[in-house]
Amino acid sequence: MRTARLHRAVVISRGVLDAAMPFASRRSRRSNHLSEIGRVRYCILALIAVLLTACGSGLPPSSQISITITPVQATIPINAMLTLHGTATGFTTPPFVCWWVQESHDLDLHDCGFVEYKDGSFTSCPFGFVVYTLLEVPSAATYYAPPTPGTYHVTFGVWQRHGFNQVEKSATATIVVTQ
């Protein structure tokens, strides 16, 4: 019985001693504990940062990527069609592909690059439109010239993503549409 009372007294006294301890002493003991936790967290964060930078972005450097579009220049009559070809090398995985008419893109109109012909029209794309089917490299596209003569630009763009990082390149063909 006496042992049980003594045990209760020790347990109670721990709480009383903690409460009775001068504030500075409790604070320094707590700050030592917190600084130990802070050091551990800092080491873990530093290790994560080192590992992430060691892994790299998973993307090739932009200087390693080569992109071409053919023909680079062409002259066609109004309402005609022109087949274009785009290639890209240097990516670490197959890149995403997109074609667009630069004049429409610059005016914040629809980019006028479509995967299906039925989506294109000169009403929404006054500078012509481009239709492409392959979403991989090499890629072919057909430019449909508008009924209005002028100089237009078709752009072939490719990009690769890895996490939140991205590398992209594009090439542009100049197309003169004549009467």
- CA–CA separation, 144 and 122 (whole Å): 9
| Rounded Cα–Cα distance for residues 49 and 69 (Å) | 40
Please state whether the predicted TM-score (pTM) of the whole model is above 0.75. Answer: no
Q: Which long-range contacts (CB under 8 A, 24 or more apart) does 29-36 make?
A: none
Give me the count of residues in the chain. 179
Distance CA 143, CA 125 (A): 12
Q: What is the pLDDT of residue 135?
A: 79
How high is the pLDDT of residue 132? 93
Give mean pLDDT, residues 88-92.
Answer: 92
pLDDT at 6 over 80: no
Handedness of CA 106, 109, 110, 113 (dihedral sign): negative
Amino acid 22: pLDDT: 46
pLDDT band at 18 (very low <50, low <70, confident <90, very high): very low
**Has residue 69 got a pLDDT over 70?**
yes
